[in-house]
Structure 1
Amino acid sequence: MTNLKLTTAAWAMMATTALAGSDSITLGMVLEPPNLDPTAGAAAAIDEVVYANIFEGLTRFGPDGSVQPGLASEWSVSENGLTYTFKLRDGVTFHDGTTMDAEDVIFSLDRARAEESTNAQKALFADIEAVTAPDPLTVEVKLSAPNGNFPFNMAWGDAVIVAPESIDNAATAPVGTGPFTFVEWAKGDHVSVARNDAYWGDAPALATATFKFISDPNAAFAAMMAEDVDAFPNFPATETLSQFEADPRFNVIVGSTEGETILSMNNKSGPLADVRVRKAIAHAINRQDIIDGAMFGYGTPIGSHFAPHHPDYVDLTGQSSYDPELSKTLLAEAGAEGLTLRLMLPPPSYARRGGEIIAAQLRAVGINTEISNLEWAQWIEQVFKGKDFDLTIVSHTEPADINIYARPDYYFQYDNADFQALIEKLSVTSDPAMRSGLNKEAQQMIADDYVNGFLFQLAKTGVANAKINGLWENAPTQANDLTGVSWSD
């Protein structure tokens, strides 16, 4: 539990610095995280609070998407590609004062890959055969097969390093090694953090930060206009961005994300097991209407699960172009006319607004939908974990995650042995040209199988006080990294 004296002192400091405005910041977030342990939850909102702020991994993503040193200052790989050696930074401590060393890395990786692990991205650790420590500042990870992507995998929020002394409370009182320490979580309102004066790296400019949860777009707009919130890195009311652009108090920050926004289909749910039905749904969708109506023009159409800014991207939107007459023909061939499907929508506006538009488009080809608006925790339990749904809309913001289609137990339950073999080949391939070819083949395969309705790449549309510097423009991972954020004089 958080020490009361520490909490009181931190809040006193926040009250003082808030008046100055030079080393305190309040960030708006649409979704409240269900917990604060990134190693035991799938919600992007967890990483939006804790990634690079409270928790750190062996490696980390930079704002440009590059893989950079984290708790490991350097690493090397053996000639056969089976053993990675990580050199840890000396003098690193967790927020509770305990030392971070090789034993904590072993604990974290073994915990993540354990059979009973609840890590949402266990596939990141599937190749690990053994983790050993020649000395307290050296970790050797032996893999079962070469994996040129392993340093990339270790940069995910799901791979942060935790300690056995504090992991049991990580969901509500996280203890990491990062530049900020957890102060409090006022459920339904905010999470606050304070600068870690014992941090091993460069001290952040900010002394305190508050992540304020505002799910309603109108309330988000009002909070920014009243300057109750200093920045909203993923602003939910895109229809109001022009008003902020015209106001010299604010900067509008538009970038790209890793968020493939899809109409997910349960590939094992009744008629959706038939590729003709999935293809009919894909051709019933008018992507541009969804982008215009739900996102006010912000978003890039996609035809497979791959980011358009990636050099290996293939534009496959034409393969599932808007063709309602073809949809009707395919439904008739499949004997699926008069179909009714359950459409489960999580809270984000892209899902709620987009869901209404898609429901109308499906109705036009003879598919009725029963819409259920779920809170995030409900969506995780019923859809993501329980697989009790027909259709849902969600942005997959994890970086370069086409490999999820090789997991037959994943929530949309796509099971294709050829695709699984393709991803297995990709995972052991290090040659850039060969990897590029395999990435393109993977995009084509899931487009051919109409696994999901591929909608658009989520744009990162943020609003910030014009005096704030250092917020990420793009989102190579789901994070509000505060390490480089500061105020101008």
Structure 2
Amino acid sequence: MKKRTLFLILLTVMLISACTPQETTPEAEVKTDLTMGYTTEPEGLDPHRTAAASTFAVTNNIYDTLVGVTPDWQIVPRLAEKWVLSDDGMEITFALRDDVYFHNGRQMTAKDVEYSFNRLKDAESPRARDYINIVKIEVLSDYEIKFTTETLDVELLKSFVYPWAAVVPEEDVANLKTKPVGTGAFILEEWVPQQHLTLRRNDNYYGDEVKIETVKLVLIPDATSMMAGFQVGNLDIIPLTGDQVTMVEGNENFKVLSEPMNAVQIMSLNTKNQYLSNEKVRQAMAMAINKEEVIEASMFGYGAKIGSHLPPTSPDYFDTNNIIEYNPEKAKDLLKEAGYGDGFEIDMALPKNYQLHVDAGQVIADQLGKIGIDVNIQLIEWGTWLSEVYGEKNFETTVVGHTGRLDSYAFLSRYKSNSNDYISLTTGEVDELLDRALNELDEGKRKEIYKEIQIILANKLPAIYLQTPHTMFALQKNVEGMEIFPIDIYDFKEVYFTE
């Protein structure tokens, strides 16, 4: 009887267990909210009214352009589905998508493209000079538009790639600086100046599905604080400086993304200055600068020295490093020949938001001091640099980067004597060469022209050409899809998290 009772009890327990729902381990949720650290506040979010790379890194995700570029330099359709060049190369016609809507809900048409490029070309646009050759814009239909140039421009298509060539709605332009309205994959949700900026996925985006729901860009000017936030997992992506690479390399929880920039770091010289107008002085300064030391101090070796204003990433790059080499003793002799054997004082304005340029400037100041040139370093805000140095040309020397141009003409055209750029070669040696390059259809001949221009710049030195640094990011191990582009942008459309 006892055995039978025990059997019945065990059977009852088994039946109850079988009927009780079993606990299952829930699947881990995949993150959809990205947090990234950044060091420099956007100047504003109107793509037609700024020249700041810090702005375009953000606006590339809010606005869109007619065509885009891949990490391997291929031009691809964006707002335009296709395009046709005329036989003489002076007209380009774009066929637009008919499923594109602005963030305000209105459908985009060719009239918006016409308005945007006329605005990009007007007197208030810092990029107007880049589009002066476009003399006619014709709306052919709601989804077809034609651009005509005054002279042949063999690189015309590339000018439609850059983030400042974005299409905007006329009805919202008054507030684009703080309330941007574009057609891009993300919409501005919140911007708290000097703190953070949040983008939310545009669910009405015409392109492929975007996996990230929000992107929060947190302003952290101090690199040490940013690294600390990354290491404890508060940040998913951060820009990386050369001295920080060893802090993340080899750690299984992190990964490093690194590519040479399509950019140049230069020491710009105001050749209207009493001393800097003298070519021998400029050459002496170049001879006094040990570029390897500059690269080691500013990028911990993650850079390549240059002798002219094209980066090694450019297909037209020519190595001019041997034209004026490091030789401080010869530099002193040149200063004497120029009449400044006792040296002189000069100011150097450095944008304090960019540690790369501050570190390089400090090393250069020390090196120039050894040949008798006393450099007074002035650390200024990026906004002040843009208005005073770049805009008003109120400077003597500065160290800064020039980034992300796909064609050599766009990189080098600032050296035309009539460019009105903050640096230029006012004596006009490269004017005719640049005009020839713009009209030369033969790629080999065009390459030779650009070689000649680089040699002239390496000798005349309207600027001292320092390095092409690397772009580097640290990523948490579960972040995928982040890529480095040949123009200075962030693109979050393809970014996603793994489990």
Q: Shared topology, TM-score over 0.5?
A: yes
Cα drift, residue 429 of structure 1 = 2.1
Residue deviations 1:143-195 (CA, integer Å, cap 9, x gap) = 10111211101101121111111111111111100111111111001111111
Cα drift, residue 423 of structure 1 = 1.2
Is residue 485 of structure 2 the alignment partner of residue 475 of structure 1? Answer: yes
Cα drift, residue 488 of structure 1 = 1.2
Find the aligned partners of 2:67 and 2:182 in 1 and give their Cα distance.
Answer: 15
SS of the equivalent of 2:331 reads helix
Q: Which residue of 1 aligns with 2:312?
A: 308
SS of the equivalent of 1:394 reads strand
Q: Which residue of 1 aligns with 2:124?
A: 117
Following superposition of structure 1 onto structure 2, how do residues 34-433 of structure 1 map, counting pairs within 5 Å? 34-51=43-60, 53-114=61-122, 116-118=123-125, 120-232=126-238, 234-236=239-241, 238-336=242-340, 337-347=342-352, 348-399=354-405, 400=408, 401-406=411-416, 407-433=418-444
Cα drift, residue 431 of structure 1 = 2.1
Tell me if structure 1 keeps the 8 A contact 2:481–2:496: yes
> Which residue identity does 1:125 align to in structure 2?
Y
Find the aligned partners of 1:32 and 1:323 in 2 and give their Cα distance.
Answer: 39
SS of the equivalent of 2:208 reads coil
Most deviating of 392-401 and 410-419:
410-419
Find the aligned partners of 1:201 and 1:295 in 2 and give their Cα distance.
Answer: 37
SS of the equivalent of 1:33 reads coil
Tell me if structure 2 keeps the 8 A contact 1:268–1:413: no
> Which residue identity does 1:284 align to in structure 2?
A
Q: Which residue of 1 aligns with 2:469?
A: 458
Tell me if structure 2 keeps the 8 A contact 1:255–1:475: no
Find the aligned partners of 1:174 and 1:369 in 2 and give their Cα distance.
Answer: 41
Find the aligned partners of 1:153 and 1:301 in 2 and give their Cα distance.
Answer: 27
Find the aligned partners of 1:163 and 1:330 in 2 and give their Cα distance.
Answer: 56
Q: Which residue of 1 aligns with 2:496?
A: 486
Find the aligned partners of 1:306 and 1:413 in 2 and give their Cα distance.
Answer: 15
User: Aligned-residue CA RMSD in angstroms?
Assistant: 1.4
Find the aligned partners of 1:66 and 1:334 in 2 and give their Cα distance.
Answer: 48
Cα drift, residue 128 of structure 1 = 0.6
5+ long unaligned stretches in structure 1:
1-18
Following superposition of structure 1 onto structure 2, how do residues 431-446 of structure 1 map, counting pairs within 5 Å? 431-446=442-457
SS of the equivalent of 1:165 reads helix
Would you say how many aligned residue pairs link Structure 1 and Structure 2? Answer: 465
Tell me if structure 2 keeps the 8 A contact 1:109–1:159: yes
TM-score between both structures, scaled by the size of structure 2: 0.91
Cα drift, residue 213 of structure 1 = 1.4
Find the aligned partners of 1:416 and 1:149 in 2 and give their Cα distance.
Answer: 26
Instruction: Give the 3 Å change call, closer, same or farther, for CA 435–75 of structure 1 in structure 2.
Output: same
Identical amino acids, percent of aligned pairs: 29
SS of the equivalent of 1:320 reads coil
Find the aligned partners of 1:231 and 1:416 in 2 and give their Cα distance.
Answer: 45
Name segments (4+ residues, structure 1) moved above 3 Å: none
SS of the equivalent of 1:293 reads helix
Find the aligned partners of 2:247 and 2:30 in 1 and give their Cα distance.
Answer: 24
> Which residue identity does 2:146 align to in structure 1?
E
Larger Rg computed on CA atoms:
2
Residue deviations 1:7-30 (CA, integer Å, cap 9, x gap) = xxxxxxxxxxxx956211011112
SS of the equivalent of 1:418 reads coil
SS of the equivalent of 1:49 reads helix
SS of the equivalent of 2:322 reads helix
SS of the equivalent of 1:410 reads coil
Find the aligned partners of 1:488 and 1:129 in 2 and give their Cα distance.
Answer: 49
Residue deviations 1:377-404 (CA, integer Å, cap 9, x gap) = 1111111111111110001013141222
> Which residue identity does 1:479 align to in structure 2?
I
Residue deviations 1:245-286 (CA, integer Å, cap 9, x gap) = 121111011111112001111111221111111111111100
TM-score between both structures, scaled by the size of structure 1: 0.93
Most deviating of 394-403 and 293-302:
394-403
SS of the equivalent of 1:289 reads helix
Tell me if structure 1 keeps the 8 A contact 2:278–2:338: yes
SS of the equivalent of 1:395 reads strand
Q: Which residue of 2 aligns with 1:8?
A: none
Q: Which residue of 1 aligns with 2:33?
A: 24
Residue deviations 1:79-116 (CA, integer Å, cap 9, x gap) = 111111000011211000112111011101111112x2
Residue deviations 1:109-146 (CA, integer Å, cap 9, x gap) = 111112x232x222321111110111010001111011
Tell me if structure 2 keeps the 8 A contact 1:179–1:203: no
